[in-house]
Amino acid sequence: MSTTTDSRTALRICPLCEATCGLTLTIEGTRVTGARGDRADVFSQGFICPKGASFGAVDSDPDRLRTPLVRKDGELREATWEEAFDAVAAGLRPVVETYGPHAVGVVLGNPNVHTMAGALYPPVLLGALGTRSLFTASTIDQMPKHVSSGLLFGDATAIPVPDLDRTDHLLLIGANPLESNGSLCTAPDFPGKLKALKARGGTLTVIDPRRTRTAKLADRHVAIRPGTDALLLAAMTFVLFEEKLTDLGELTELVQGLDELRDAVRDFTPEAVAEACDVDAGTIRALARELAAAPTAAVYGRIGSCTVPHGTLASWLVDVLNILTGNLDRPGGALFPHEATAKTPRPAGPGRGFALGRWHSRVSRHPEAKGELPIAALAEEIDTATAEGQPVRAVIAIAANPVLSTPDGDRLDKALDSLDFMVSVDPYLNETSRHAHVVLPPPPPSQSPHHDFAFNHFAVRNQVRYTRAAVPLEPGRMAETEILARLVLAATGMHGTDPSAVDAMVIDQTLGKAVKDPHSPVHGRDPRELAALLTGDSGPERRLDMMLRLGPYGDGFGVRREGLTLDKLLDQPHGIDLGPLQPRLPQPLKTRSGRVELLPQPIADDLPRLRDALRQRPDGLVLVGRRHLRSNNSWMHNIPALTGGTNRCTLHLHPDDAARLGIADGDSVRIKGAGGELTAEAEVTDGIRRGVVSLPHGWGHDRPGTRMSHAATDPGVNVNQLLDGSLLDPLSGNAVLNGISVEVSPTGTTP
């Protein structure tokens, strides 16, 4: 963009949360010295939050690794890229050749959805390696939503998002977008959108055991007992049927199983669930009536509705309520976004459906979901032998810190240490990567191009943006796309091949398939001719061009002259708006019936477990998590500008519980769970309901052998050490991280 003698600006889509704001970076030399919201960005229109404003500090953190590390004589030492990839090939190949591909565990963490590399190469790695040992952050996050979408719509990635800009009534369950900036609902300035909803006369309801900043904005806040949302939502469903408030509207012909559903929720009356949820029956009826009465409404559930024992049932019921009130797939309700890189839409009709449990984990026989095994079972898949099958003996970890992010990090710590080989693609030497034999550090975000392959699929408005690297790659750096391409080659016996071969192969395969597809705009053409038309400075850019041109808004390689290409996108550095979300059904459905299957069998089979929950009451305290605005999971505690203030690892507890336990604000307390014991400082607050305590995750930066110097000055404790990893939502394999039983007592000391 603009240049003066010593300072210039460049655009960069922010990768620090799911909101994907467009930023204008100030750059002096090669250093980012400032960041502000890009007012001309077609999606974010100038919004920025404190994390985005600290982009420069995140980008230039001196603890970021600059060169690869390779373990020699037990110690990680700086090495060249060549030495590093030699070591990766030498470490991985013997494991594959001796024990087979399933002995290689692939662990994919959250930032893969925030990088182009993470979208483009892990699928190639998994396809080429053929391992079933895939563990990702999805099973400590949103896997229940994938499973419920798979079952309802036949496509695990067809997740409806609330139409924030147009809805009249928003019901938020277990989400705190004022701190998280939203998730599975990509919306720059989520707080502003909630305020706009209220300003246009709409209503906001929040269900959360804590009176969060989001709950404070709400017209109605229901402080539910953690882990019981599926009961409450089932009771709302019951009320819709009982009071004849269902109105499927345009969906009527598209939905099957209505009568069976009515029958299935018969036992879940508001009166029957009230005590378990600790929400009175009158409130539950009011929630259902308000939802049905609103001209348009959207129900949306996030972390607090997913990381619980009935996560899949709660996620399913969220969409059941959207469907029964006619709000699915209509403006103002919950719609399916259509991103520019989506596959060529096929005509509506029966699909292949969604299968669960096509294979099982070796030790605890957990069913796979969406091709993944529960990440909570990673440690046992490494450290436990069984009569059949091979333990995981090598791990490829890309952008993942499971030692802090998953249950029982101490056990995983030991398990990772016992591996034959481990490689981490990570900018930091942290709690997980310290176990690696090779660490491959990606460049900081300013040196990487960006397009949101993942988040545009969940965006509240269809739009497309691409920003090239704001700063050239520093000498000695390697683009993360190249790192992952080389990793694919090293893992699959092709070490030494030119990494551009990976992109060329993907382009070849994709175009080869497209020309054979009668619904593709390029049907019948010559794939070589199409490949020659691709533009872009690199393999990843050519792949982006290909996806854009084959996609729903694409030029179809010249068929639709007005259509999108990478060149056209590069001409619009602030992005191209593709309009508000549109109704799309029945096209996205891939169920075998070709309809929305309201009561899928695996869901029906799980309902007896929910019926049992009607009678369950926790005897003591239960723990939930929380997020802080200036933080992100485990890896931003190293940025001084983003730590301190309210962003601290303290235990929130209600004044009545504090008084009963003899705990005062600031006291040191002991917290005991099934997986271990921790000590933290108490923060007494009436912002949390009685009987519930809260500790944030991503802390516990006191392990030796890491290089995160600022984080180590205020390490906090790892909340996931309270878990033993045995509690899962059985349908999705998602770990239960919220609503777990704990004991809290004063330690008798002040920290």
Ligand X SMILES: Nc1nc2c(c(=O)[nH]1)N[C@H]1C(S)=C(S)[C@@H](COP(=O)(O)OP(=O)(O)OC[C@H]3O[C@@H](n4cnc5c(=O)[nH]c(N)nc54)[C@H](O)[C@@H]3O)O[C@H]1N2
Which one of residues 140, 161, 416, 530 is an interface residue with ligand X (CB under 6 A)?
Answer: 140
The stretch near Mo ion (CB under 5 A) out of 5-13, 22-30, 134-142, 199-207 is: 134-142
The stretch near ligand X (CB under 6 A) out of 507-515, 557-565, 569-577, 628-636 is: 628-636
Nearer to ligand SF4, 399 or 429 (CB): 399
The stretch near ligand SF4 (CB under 6 A) out of 13-21, 276-284, 446-454, 481-489 is: 13-21
Residue 312 touches ligand X, criterion: CB under 6 A = no
- 3-state per-residue secondary structure call for 288-314: HHHHHHCCCCEEEECHHHHCCCCHHHH
> Quick one: tokens of 18?
């799911």
Residue 368 touches Mo ion, criterion: CB under 5 A = no
Amino acid at 484: L
Q: Which does 9 bind (CB under 5 to 8 A by kind): Mo ion, ligand SF4, ligand X, none?
A: none
Phi, psi of 207 (to 5 degrees): -110, 115
Nearer to ligand X, 539 or 556 (CB): 539
How big, in percent rounded to 5, are the helix, strand and coil portions of the chain? 35, 20, 45
Question: Cβ contacts of residue 138 below 8 Å, gap of 6+?
Answer: 146, 370, 372, 734
In the complex, what is the shortest distance from the CB of residue 209 to ligand X, in angstroms, rounded to a whole number? 5
Which one of residues 52, 304, 402, 551 is an interface residue with ligand SF4 (CB under 6 A)?
Answer: 52
Which one of residues 38, 61, 141, 597 is an interface residue with ligand X (CB under 6 A)?
Answer: 141
Return the residues of window 91-120 that contact ligand X according to CB under 6 A.
109-111, 115
For residue 82, give the nearest of 68, 92, 94, 93 by alpha carbon.
Answer: 68
In the complex, what is the shortest distance from the CB of residue 735 to Mo ion, in angstroms, rounded to a whole number? 12
Return the residues of window 171-210 that contact ligand SF4 according to CB under 6 A.
181, 188
Q: Looking at beta carbons, which residue is closest to ligand SF4?
A: 52
Residue 257 touches ligand SF4, criterion: CB under 6 A = no
Q: Which does 657 bind (CB under 5 to 8 A by kind): ligand X, Mo ion, ligand SF4, none?
A: none
Residue 210, beta-bridge partner list: 688
Q: How many CA atoms lie within 13 A of 118 on its CB side?
A: 27
Which one of residues 56, 402, 552, 563 is an interface residue with ligand X (CB under 6 A)?
Answer: 402
Which one of residues 19, 490, 491, 671 is an interface residue with ligand SF4 (CB under 6 A)?
Answer: 19
Q: Looking at beta carbons, which residue is closest to ligand X?
A: 304
Tell me the per-residue interface mask from 462 to 501 with ligand X, x by CB under 6 A, - otherwise: ------------------x---------------------
Which one of residues 9, 20, 364, 720 is an interface residue with ligand SF4 (CB under 6 A)?
Answer: 20
Question: Cβ contacts of residue 396 below 8 Å, gap of 6+?
Answer: 92, 104, 105, 106, 107, 125, 422, 423, 487, 491
Nearer to ligand SF4, 455 or 557 (CB): 455
Structural contact between residues 56 and 10, judged by C-beta atoms closer than 8 angstroms: no
Nearer to Mo ion, 18 or 606 (CB): 18
* Terminal C-alpha separation, the chain: 50
- 3-state per-residue secondary structure call for 460-504: CEEEECCECCCCCCCCCCCCHHHHHHHHHHHHCCCCCCCCHHHHH
Residue 683 touches ligand X, criterion: CB under 6 A = no
Nearer to Mo ion, 184 or 464 (CB): 184
Which one of residues 14, 279, 546, 578 is an interface residue with ligand SF4 (CB under 6 A)?
Answer: 14
- Distance, in Å, from the CA atom of 162 to the CA atom of 542, rounded to the nearest integer, reads 33
Q: Could you give the residue ranges of the DSSP H alpha helices within 243-384?
A: 258-264, 270-277, 281-293, 303-306, 311-324, 378-383
Q: Is the peptide bond before 68 cis (omega within 30 degrees of 0)?
A: no
Amino acid at 624: V
Alpha-carbon Rg for the chain in angstroms: 25
Residue 647 touches ligand X, criterion: CB under 6 A = no
In the complex, what is the shortest distance from the CB of residue 584 to ligand X, in angstroms, rounded to a whole number? 25
Nearer to ligand SF4, 55 or 699 (CB): 55
Nearer to Mo ion, 141 or 482 (CB): 141
Question: Cβ contacts of residue 38 below 8 Å, gap of 6+?
Answer: 11, 21, 22, 23, 24, 44, 46, 574
- Distance, in Å, from the CA atom of 747 to the CA atom of 727, rounded to the nearest integer, reads 28
Give the footprint of ligand X on this chain (CB under 6 A).
Answer: 17-18, 109-111, 115, 137, 140-141, 173-177, 179-181, 183, 207-210, 212, 224, 226-227, 229, 302-305, 308, 398-402, 405, 425-428, 430, 442, 480, 624-629, 631-635, 697-698, 719-720, 737-739
